[in-house]
Amino acid sequence: MGYALAAWEVRDLLLIPSFMFSESAVIKRKPLAATARRAGWVGCNLDLHRIAPEARIFLVRTTVCEPRNAAVPAAGSGGVPLREGTRSGTLPKPAGADACATNTVITSPEEVREKFRRVKPLKDISVTQRG
């Protein structure tokens, strides 16, 4: 049992300007029990679905596609079908073919600043007017 620190990676990192959190996005939790160290403390959860999509600025975003071996190989071949335009038959199944391929995109600082500039005017509008 253990883990490899080298395998740790940031998959999704999201920036949401503080002025974009509406009251409907903050969901109050029940207070901690009287026996808890911080008895009576009340926390909250944030419902990101209640925040405008324009206000969700991804710094790092990872997408996962279908498994590489989604196509069904010929019966009994144990391989992956060849692409169109190649010899008939199958190739040996590549290592990790059952895993899903991932694509990680890091947003440029310029693009992050531009997306923030677009929502910044909302900061001067009251929460009730923003909705």
What's the domain range around 62?
9-70+99-126
Domain count, the chain: 1
- Band of the pLDDT at 101, cuts 50, 70, 90? confident
Which segment of 31-40, 50-59, 95-104 scores lowest on mean pLDDT? 95-104
Residue 74 pLDDT > 50 = no
Q: Indicate whether 1 belongs to any domain.
A: no
**35 φ/ψ sector (left φ>0, alpha ψ -120 to 50, else beta):** alpha
Q: Indicate whether 93 belongs to any domain.
A: no
pLDDT one-digit tens code per residue, 8-48? 888 899 999 999 988 889 999 999 999 999 998 999 999 99
What is the pLDDT averaged over residues 101-120? Answer: 93
Q: Indicate whether 107 belongs to any domain.
A: yes
Residue 8 and residue 6: Cα distance in Å, rounded? 6
CB 89 within 8 A of CB 121: no
pTM of the model: 0.60
Q: Indicate whether 88 belongs to any domain.
A: no
Strand ranges (E), the chain: 13-15, 26-28, 44-46, 57-67, 79-81, 90-92, 100-106
Q: Indicate whether 114 belongs to any domain.
A: yes
Concatenating the DSSP letter of every residue in 71-106 gives SPPPTTT-EEEPPTTS-SSEEEPPTTTTSEEEEEEE
Q: Indicate whether 106 belongs to any domain.
A: yes
